[in-house]
Amino acid sequence: MAAFSRISNLRSPSTQACDLRRALAALILAAAPCGEAFAADAVSALEFGADPTGAKDSVQAINAALESGADVLVPAGSYTLTAGWISMTKPGQTLRCEAGATMRVVRPGRNATPALIVMPSAVGARVEGCAIDHDGGQFLPVRPFYPLEWDDAISYAPGVGLRNNPKNKSKSNAGIGVAVLVMADKAELRGMNVTRGWDNDIMVARYRLDAPGQSLGPYGVRIVDTRTSLAGSGAHSWEPNFFMGCGIDVGTGVDAVLQNNVDENSRIGFCVDEGGGASAHIIDSVSRHARMTKEPFVKANRMSSYYPAFGDPWHGSTISGSGFFFGGSTLSPINGQPMKDYKASVCTNCQAIEPEGVGVWLGRYSNGARFEGLKVVRPGLEAIWALGGTHSFKDTTLQQPNALKGSTGVWGRNYPWPQTPAIRAICANCLPYLRRQDAPRLNLSREQVQTTLDFRGLTVSPGPRGPSYSYTFSTRSASQTDFATIRAEGGSIAPGAKGLQSLEGSAGGAE
């Protein structure tokens, strides 16, 4: 900025502004990667009043820069976001942050509105290099969720709910807790670092902002070279405190590509959500140390949040502590209709490193997922748990499953669990996970109620001191017509297979 100051001392105010913009554009062009340069009329958020010291709110200034229609640069500095969110609305626009530019949400005692939303109108928009701290633990542990629309007059009164809420916006909207919400087709996030989302760090989904409601899309979103961490840092309920959240969640998105991303210490690493997410492509991505919720639900008919209650459709389908969660479906839970342009979701060279719970969790809405080169290292419980659908695995490596050895010590409490298998498959209509009459209500197809896992090239390493699990495979079936099946050919499998069938059709026993 010193060069800009010297220019300012010599030129008229209007010429100064022109020179400033040209000089800034030149700097941006020089720093941009080859083939990804900013437009010549790029602007700096500082021109519109953004404060790199963090002393005052920068939301309005950054939005004003974006509203200009030009590409926007956020220079190095610490920016505070106190009211509303950064909103991208222009198609093809780029928001780029310099190295050292960080944004932190500061809204203690408020509902968990996002830091950044890429609106549906911003088709092909890009966000590059931005570091965003949602600081989710500062928000109210409200349940149900509250709408996304920002209203500074609204606050929370214990035992009463929301106060000063003239618009009566108190309906459920699950998109509220994310740090970054992507709703535009073909949008791209690249080189970002997002942390402490109250719910998810990044979510690819379409929500209404003025009332409850969601729809399929966006289509073709790309998230590349991005780091997420500590998602699910806000409590979803008052009593007990229950935590949930994904580093990156393909909520209702279709054909999203997630490549070369890393998540650390989130409640779940990567999600293809049962809200409708489909055709996701997760490539060369790593989940490290996915964390279980610290306060489990404890009820007479439930051992913990890991084991769902009878007929409970939510906690029977996703748990914290999972490296990868797949819940996308051939049917939409939104309207029960077939998913448009549905194709199988694919996870290529994905790694779940020391999740406290499960390496890969396949929910009851999931179907047709494919895994190639999957590696799960020292999961606390099962390496793979499937509750529904037919899924295929090629060249899978599972190292020391059930590293907790039947203990829930991660919670600091004594809830003894039996040793778990390396791989578990349960038909989705088996009690206590689902009563048969619930299947139509939950839009479950016949293929999803039944569960089949096919492995070609499976290596299960029992660990240096012998197996930490009691058996390699476990299946559970309700009848001769509703079943769970595990089939495997090739690789190296430790003794103790139970419920195993070969891919050539020879039958094995069921648990």
Q: State the DSSP string of 484-509.
A: EEEEEEEEE--S---SEE-TT-----
Q: Is the pLDDT of residue 236 over 60?
A: yes
CA distance 467 to 417: 16
Which percentage of the chain shows pLDDT scores above 70? 61
Contact 214, 240 (CB under 8 A): no
Of the pLDDT bands very low, low, confident and very high (cuts 50, 70, 90), residue 444 is low
Strands 262-264 and 161-163: unpaired
Q: Return the bridge partners of 14, or none.
A: none
In degrees and rounded to multiples of 5, residue 46 shows phi and psi of -65, -30
CA distance 128 to 94: 8
Spell out the SS3 assignment of 296-344: CCCECCECECCECCCCCCCCCCCCCCEEEEECCCCECCCCCCECCCCCC
- pLDDT tens, residue by residue, 339-369: 544 567 899 999 999 998 899 998 877 888 9
DSSP 8-state class, residue 4: H
Residue type for 245, please?
G
Q: How far is CA 309 from the centre of its chain?
A: 24
Spell out the SS3 assignment of 185-238: CCCEEECCEEECCCCCCEEECEECCCCCCEECCCECCEEECCEEECCCCCECCC
Which whole-number Å values give the CA distances from 255 to 88, 216, 344, 346, 456, in the listed order? 21, 11, 10, 10, 26
Contact 280, 342 (CB under 8 A): no
Residue type for 479, please?
S
Q: How far is CA 30 from the centre of its chain?
A: 34
CA distance 93 to 235: 34
Q: Which residue has the higher pLDDT, 146 or 347?
A: 347
Instruction: Lowest mean pLDDT of 142-151, 372-381, 501-510, name the range.
Output: 501-510
The contacts of residue 487 (CB under 8 Å, 6+ apart) are: 452, 453, 454, 455, 500, 501, 502, 503
Of the pLDDT bands very low, low, confident and very high (cuts 50, 70, 90), residue 161 is low
Instruction: Lowest mean pLDDT of 172-181, 240-249, 308-317, 454-463, name the range.
Output: 308-317
What local confidence, expressed as pLDDT, does residue 419 receive?
62
Residue type for 351, please?
Q
Contact 313, 438 (CB under 8 A): yes
What local confidence, expressed as pLDDT, does residue 433 receive?
53
- Taking residue 185's Cβ as centre, other Cβ atoms within 10 Å add up to 21
- pLDDT tens, residue by residue, 53-68: 999 999 999 999 999 9
3-state SS, residue 114: coil
Of the pLDDT bands very low, low, confident and very high (cuts 50, 70, 90), residue 403 is confident
In 3D space, the residue among 118, 246, 129 whose CA is nearest the CA of residue 177 turns out to be: 246
| Secondary element (H or E) of residue 127 | strand 126-128
Of the pLDDT bands very low, low, confident and very high (cuts 50, 70, 90), residue 83 is confident
What local confidence, expressed as pLDDT, does residue 254 receive?
87
Mean pLDDT, rounded, for 505-509: 31
Of the pLDDT bands very low, low, confident and very high (cuts 50, 70, 90), residue 337 is low
CA distance 421 to 470: 6
Contact 183, 206 (CB under 8 A): yes
pTM of the model: 0.82
Of the pLDDT bands very low, low, confident and very high (cuts 50, 70, 90), residue 1 is very low
Look-up of token digits 């998105």: 253
Mean pLDDT, rounded, for 205-222: 81
> Rounded to 10 degrees, what is the CA torsion of 137, 140, 143, 149?
-100
Instruction: Lowest mean pLDDT of 69-73, 105-109, 121-125, 429-433, name the range.
Output: 429-433
The contacts of residue 496 (CB under 8 Å, 6+ apart) are: 467, 469, 470, 471, 472
- pLDDT tens, residue by residue, 411-438: 344 444 446 778 888 876 565 555 555 5
Mean pLDDT, rounded, for 240-261: 88
What local confidence, expressed as pLDDT, does residue 116 receive?
97
Of the pLDDT bands very low, low, confident and very high (cuts 50, 70, 90), residue 440 is low
What local confidence, expressed as pLDDT, does residue 173 receive?
47
CA distance 342 to 430: 27
